[in-house]
Structure 1
């Protein structure tokens, strides 16, 4: 029997949280604790409202309460109390403005997960570690149905939670401060810096179905380094197993090739229907209706390490260094290859001899991530300076396990394939300067900042073994071919300046400007003006206007992928290749943005904080992917394009002429389609964000209330014209209906997060709710909506004494799971083959309720 959670409207959740917060008397739970103090992982987290924040401004005296931009601070204990496997999942539980992508995942994107801040691409969110840029993944979205064509993002799941002191999330554009990628905001990971003590924890749990088990071991220790330094070390190991969920075939759906009157195997008809004069294969009696387990959650083994250290140099300088290293091996189950498909679609009897009952391929990635920064900061000539060198590298090697290449003869051909590697390296040299000047006209010193930065990038895509890409390639994931392999580099340089002051005791003003020049696409200038005015000691208004940009990554500029199947050959052509240029491609340009935000803050007591912010983000030149251009000549009497539209002789000749200039010809009986990355159009995203935090002390314990909500909407303002050379062809566009839905409706219309923490002596507990609003979906060309859903999480802990503590928790207590696609929106092939079509774009996962326990020792 499964418990069912009550149905709450978004208004009722908002009102309940607001009334609870408004009734809280003044109480500041640990507000004066030092920032690097480590509290029990299940503690009622101390208020972070008075914490000095270092993200989004080069000044040094702003807090969450008086910041001129919306900033969230999530403490180490907040992260641990979620009971999540990694940083990405923990942040999703804490911030309604940040959502982990539920759907639109390609094969690799199920392992290298993206996230959305303010409902936009993860490529628009910059990730920092101790204020220094962390690199994006070597993986670029685009192949196999990737959701963000041409975009790459930093993988938050690779950062060890045990190393984190706090997370600062800036929800506003900051390209003028940090450069490319900071269109929607910045996630700054601040590492622990204590010079003594530490902790060790072991956490383990599994799903309510008894699978998907996960065990994490985390450790941290602080050591003194001389009289004024520290070395802080952290390590983490997590093993997550598959939570198996089947895609069950309907009764009567044929899995094996049929048998004709002479006893020979014959191919099935479309949707695996029995051909005339044939009988079902006797093997059907023993078929496994639950053989397809592609809906199962990925499994992985992750090991990560972090170092944070500093040591004084004389009286006015300090050496510092940070480093993180991660190694992850992850597997994602792919679609089951039926015997009927092996025999009929691919005509591969030798493969069927090896796998008479079909086979289940598994995609595996082996990923290494390394980051390191070393620098010196101090004072010289009245200026504060910070000079640093940063090196980042991400390498992803991909394998297809337990699979076959239908073009090869078996036995003897490989069943495991090395598909190739992606490698991205980044080196950064940075100098920051800051000084305060007393100006009589201003109420506080004028803080002037300036700096310069140089960046070198290198990208490589290396070919896999030849069996992984020759012919049809490895089933489930075709390897990178030698024709698609590439090495590329670029350099960029930047200078920037800023100034901030309190013009009056109540009016704060901060301005920043930045100029960057890239060796491939040229220069970009950005600026930002942010201000805050406090009408009273408890009520203030804040506003920001800025422009920003997202540079096209090297991986996007040099992306190329070739695939082949019985339906033909598909090519995602490098944008500067002869094939792409022949089809009207132009060099990729930076995606540029204008950001506007306006907000109010209200602090009626030291224990209550309320903030409401409205924002608008206009993005020009959004990256996307062109239509598939080519035709199917497998039936010489009926030449069709990728949409199945019959082409006229003139249209066919146009395509032949265009591809011919690139040396490509489509032979009779063949099919070929090409596409490329391109800037497709302009979007506008508008939204509202509300945050409420309150602390309360009662006779039966201390309480911390929190509530946050995000409402956002993206619209398409303009779609670029298709290239002139393609305008005479049918079904050519830069933004299909499915692409529009992927761009606009990945996240719910609104998201709300509410929580209550309680502490009384050595006992602590937390309950939090995430209320996902309706989410619009498109399947088989049919639009539908998934209704709102409430997810509830519970946890509690107890201090056992002598440094020991224990915790128990239940995530998704009422077992909310991935929901069904309505019957009217299912495709004919799905209806003919499987019992249920699950909404892989849902915000819910397939795992359901997950319980866990944790033992922690602090010393």
Structure 2
């Protein structure tokens, strides 16, 4: 892995001499062909596309700048070739100036080769990224409503939608899923779904850890992640991987491939795909209430009654196409995109056949809930009946007739993801480089739930439902320009400017009628709508759109020899809440040949999404105080019921971000140290839960939330608290040929702390504050080594996780240390076989002491490294 390795000094000289790209967004750009502003990286040497493409193919055969630099050390005979690669790396690597691997950059960025993602056991890109970037956190999300389908991830301790995701330097659309349950930090977030990108399609990934809203716009508060796609015009690879957990479950397989080919005589097309599936896992203990039912003779109760583990994923298909072609006259057409789909099937909470309120028991008395099927005889005809009495009666009804052992709903969805970008870039006669592009992103989640009931329909209820769908559609149009000017400084003054139009639409599709309707038994205390995940009714369905315009200017230059200075300013206007202006100042100062200091200060913002402003949702959650399930609803902040508690239209979040760091060398060890401070004001998140009065229930039902008839509590999105997140990142790399043919070592350390500075007790409670401050590990580090020895390869990785707070259990869990290992053998230059283990020593988080008395989760569902133990895998690969 090539994170943290400083680039050689020729990088700065390259800019001074004019041989590097002028496409710098803010300060010295570590640039690639898909730039941060979308402008091409062009030089006098690479204006010809074919020549540039040949150079790029050579460069990209090396995983990263680190590998190129180390090759020069290990093999002096190749030093000249390595130097050429270093020079080209300035042009092709990153989309932002902030490059932690470049001494000339002003803020930190992790540069991770595509090979680092394939050398792992998992296949979900979220987990792959977590294993190599300590400031990136994601967990299993076993029972988290829609968050089980699109897992929320956190960069530098902030919410998933505080991180902007790019592909080839272009903004990626967000997912349709809103993470209603995310252990506080992710609650209410709507971020992108990167799991739809196959790892085999990646040339490299850059994780920029600095505020970048002044360059990119909304969402870039915690940082930016850019996924660079492979663009080779020839060759490829096919890989087959299979594995399972030590406990014998969670089997998965993946077949993936990558193929590069010419596209006409002037271009390339690079295609990648992945297809696979994974079985679910089970790390539960039998709940005491379910065990008591079995002991009492109820043979219909499952063991375990409730399953905690990862969901089953089937028909998991991912594909990516990346292409470009020279048009002549210094113009190039490019296009790329992806299509993916998967079927996700997971579990919910157990409904006890004796105590589940509004289905088996009266919500107010706890007595058996028996339905009168012949109201003409009067409700008293079933008064005092037991479930056994109802089973023997034709006029009285108990849900034990359908589910004598209770039931555990199964919930999931069919996820479809589609994106496409196309553009033309070139250089005008006056020297201005330009890039004109348009993009479309689409994400749809069609929910399903089965093994459940609409209790208000009595014996006529279906047991499977289509609750409806969430859909996100985004459109972007960008025009970008860049040019360098001689103004008497040590380098040209790079001026970048441009225009962006963006439109996003969030849609709720109504479900089938039975999933949301209020049936005839509702007046007798039976819950309406599909139990567990109520369907979206006609008044809840609809489309909500918002468009915005932005313009920016970025200036960057070496003021003097060894002093880089950059300035950025961006103005963005949103049609729903107005205009926001943000800026950034950054600098890098060479102290000696082996020491540089860097830092930045910026302001930022994140706009509320149309989904957050308008979505309805009902989640069934376990209440520790009641030791029972409760239905909690989320309603729009402008709903009249929310306005009674202070709800109002959402405003953007505002941030101030500053960093201070150093890049230096100690002998053969390269080290980067960076401190960051992020203040976010008016953060957008769900409020605390409010109890509903009967009048408010009636109002919500009238507004289309038919399931409100059975809601205990509700909440809404609000701008109502401020946080400060501080931390330190340390990265050290070392390479030696004294171990095997070559061995690379890398240490990455992250310490992040969040503190809630200001909040309103009326909307944010103490538990939520603790979730925000303690829900993620405060300290994480990863130590890895990679050794080549003839035909053999050895990889080892040690990862440490600090403790975390789980609000579902009310517990603070201690941290753990995990070990990953992989050994490979190459039969030929093309064919290899790899055997590996993730969590080699089979470490689990500490057990939940209240699992049996509660909901059966043996381990914390929010464990930052999972709770399923060791996983072993076998991978075969053929390259051509």
Name the TM-score, length of structure 1 as normaliser. 0.83
- Which runs of structure 2 are paired with 1:39-188 in the superposition (5 Å)? 51-52=89-90, 64-101=102-139, 106-142=144-180, 148-188=186-226
Counterpart check, 1:383 vs 2:432:
yes
| Deviation (angstroms), 1:356 | 2.3
Do the aligned partners of residues 202 and 656 (structure 1) sit closer, same or farther apart at CA in structure 2, a change above 3 Å counting? closer
Q: Structure 2 unaligned runs (5+)?
A: 7-54, 72-84, 363-368, 372-396, 519-527, 622-627
Choose which of 839, 864, 870 in structure 2 pairs with 1:843.
864
Equivalent residues of 1:531, 1:542 under 8 A apart: yes
Equivalent residues of 1:568, 1:670 under 8 A apart: no
| Deviation (angstroms), 1:251 | 8.6
| Deviation (angstroms), 1:333 | 1.5
Name the SS for the 2:720 alignment partner: strand
Counterpart check, 1:716 vs 2:756:
yes
| Deviation (angstroms), 1:701 | 2.1
Give per-residue Cα distances to partners, 1:277-300, cap 9 Å, x unaligned.
xxx85435x754423213454434
Name the SS for the 2:458 alignment partner: coil
Counterpart check, 1:853 vs 2:874:
yes
CA distance in 1, matches of 2:91, 2:175: 27
State the match for 1:4 in structure 2: none
Counterpart check, 1:318 vs 2:339:
no
Choose which of 391, 415, 424 in structure 2 pairs with 1:367.
415
Give per-residue Cα distances to partners, 1:743-793, cap 9 Å, x unaligned.
12221120010001100122111000101123244566x5x5322310000
CA distance in 2, matches of 1:117, 1:136: 16
- Which runs of structure 2 are paired with 1:526-675 in the superposition (5 Å)? 526-561=582-617, 571-604=633-666, 608-631=669-692, 673-675=713-715
State the match for 1:353 in structure 2: 401
| Deviation (angstroms), 1:239 | 0.6
Counterpart check, 1:787 vs 2:808:
no
Choose which of 203, 228, 231 in structure 1 pairs with 2:241.
203
CA distance in 1, matches of 2:629, 2:140: 29
Where is the helix percentage greater, Structure 1 or Structure 2? 2
| Deviation (angstroms), 1:578 | 2.5
Equivalent residues of 2:485, 2:494 under 8 A apart: yes
State the match for 2:81 in structure 1: none
Do the aligned partners of residues 387 and 251 (structure 1) sit closer, same or farther apart at CA in structure 2, a change above 3 Å counting? closer
State the match for 1:192 in structure 2: 230
Counterpart check, 1:771 vs 2:807:
no
Counterpart check, 1:437 vs 2:485:
yes
CA distance in 2, matches of 1:144, 1:353: 36
State the match for 1:485 in structure 2: 541
| Deviation (angstroms), 1:716 | 1.1
Do the aligned partners of residues 327 and 522 (structure 1) sit closer, same or farther apart at CA in structure 2, a change above 3 Å counting? same
**Which is further off, 690-699 or 53-62?**
53-62
Name the SS for the 1:227 alignment partner: helix
| Deviation (angstroms), 1:626 | 2.8
Do the aligned partners of residues 144 and 234 (structure 1) sit closer, same or farther apart at CA in structure 2, a change above 3 Å counting? closer
Do the aligned partners of residues 612 and 470 (structure 1) sit closer, same or farther apart at CA in structure 2, a change above 3 Å counting? same
CA distance in 2, matches of 1:564, 1:107: 9
Q: Structure 1 unaligned runs (5+)?
A: 1-16, 23-30, 257-279, 634-654, 721-731
Give per-residue Cα distances to partners, 1:288-313, cap 9 Å, x unaligned.
44232134544343101111100111
Name the SS for the 1:555 alignment partner: helix
CA distance in 1, matches of 2:629, 2:245: 40
State the match for 1:811 in structure 2: 838
Give per-residue Cα distances to partners, 1:292-350, cap 9 Å, x unaligned.
21345443431011111001111311000011111111111222333324533565745
Name the SS for the 1:816 alignment partner: coil
**Which is further off, 350-359 or 298-307?**
350-359
| Deviation (angstroms), 1:147 | 5.3
| Deviation (angstroms), 1:119 | 1.0
Equivalent residues of 2:724, 2:756 under 8 A apart: yes
| Deviation (angstroms), 1:698 | 1.8
State the match for 2:258 in structure 1: 220
Give per-residue Cα distances to partners, 1:391-433, cap 9 Å, x unaligned.
11111110002222222233x5322210101111111110111
Equivalent residues of 2:512, 2:535 under 8 A apart: yes
Counterpart check, 1:697 vs 2:716:
no
Equivalent residues of 1:497, 1:512 under 8 A apart: yes
Equivalent residues of 2:163, 2:225 under 8 A apart: yes
**Which is further off, 447-456 or 227-236?**
227-236
Equivalent residues of 1:79, 1:90 under 8 A apart: yes
CA distance in 1, matches of 2:540, 2:188: 16
Give per-residue Cα distances to partners, 1:199-255, cap 9 Å, x unaligned.
100000001111100101111110112333101011111211111222313398432
Equivalent residues of 2:539, 2:703 under 8 A apart: no
CA distance in 1, matches of 2:279, 2:118: 20
| Deviation (angstroms), 1:33 | 8.9
Equivalent residues of 2:837, 2:872 under 8 A apart: yes
CA distance in 2, matches of 1:593, 1:251: 48
CA distance in 2, matches of 1:577, 1:323: 38
CA distance in 1, matches of 2:290, 2:683: 46
State the match for 2:25 in structure 1: none
Give per-residue Cα distances to partners, 1:168-206, cap 9 Å, x unaligned.
110101001100000010000000000001110000000
Q: RMSD between aligned alpha carbons?
A: 3.4
State the match for 2:17 in structure 1: none
| Deviation (angstroms), 1:116 | 0.9
| Deviation (angstroms), 1:386 | 0.8
State the match for 1:344 in structure 2: 361
| Deviation (angstroms), 1:151 | 1.9
Choose which of 768, 777, 780 in structure 2 pairs with 1:751.
780
- Which runs of structure 2 are paired with 1:455-470 in the superposition (5 Å)? 455-470=502-517
| Deviation (angstroms), 1:492 | 0.3
CA distance in 1, matches of 2:584, 2:543: 35
Equivalent residues of 1:461, 1:486 under 8 A apart: yes
Choose which of 807, 826, 840 in structure 2 pairs with 1:799.
826
CA distance in 1, matches of 2:619, 2:56: 59
CA distance in 2, matches of 1:179, 1:314: 33
Equivalent residues of 2:98, 2:208 under 8 A apart: no
Give per-residue Cα distances to partners, 1:814-847, cap 9 Å, x unaligned.
11124323x4xx4xxx664667753222223232
Equivalent residues of 2:656, 2:680 under 8 A apart: yes
Equivalent residues of 2:178, 2:188 under 8 A apart: yes
CA distance in 1, matches of 2:711, 2:114: 55
Choose which of 496, 499, 523 in structure 2 pairs with 1:452.
499
CA distance in 1, matches of 2:701, 2:864: 45
**Which is further off, 413-422 or 174-183?**
413-422
| Deviation (angstroms), 1:545 | 0.2
CA distance in 2, matches of 1:787, 1:150: 26
Give per-residue Cα distances to partners, 1:342-365, cap 9 Å, x unaligned.
533565745322332333321121
Q: Paired residues, what number?
A: 762
| Deviation (angstroms), 1:78 | 0.7
Name the SS for the 1:85 alignment partner: coil
Equivalent residues of 2:658, 2:677 under 8 A apart: yes
Equivalent residues of 1:56, 1:170 under 8 A apart: no
Equivalent residues of 2:62, 2:68 under 8 A apart: no
| Deviation (angstroms), 1:542 | 0.2
| Deviation (angstroms), 1:39 | 6.8
CA distance in 2, matches of 1:577, 1:466: 23
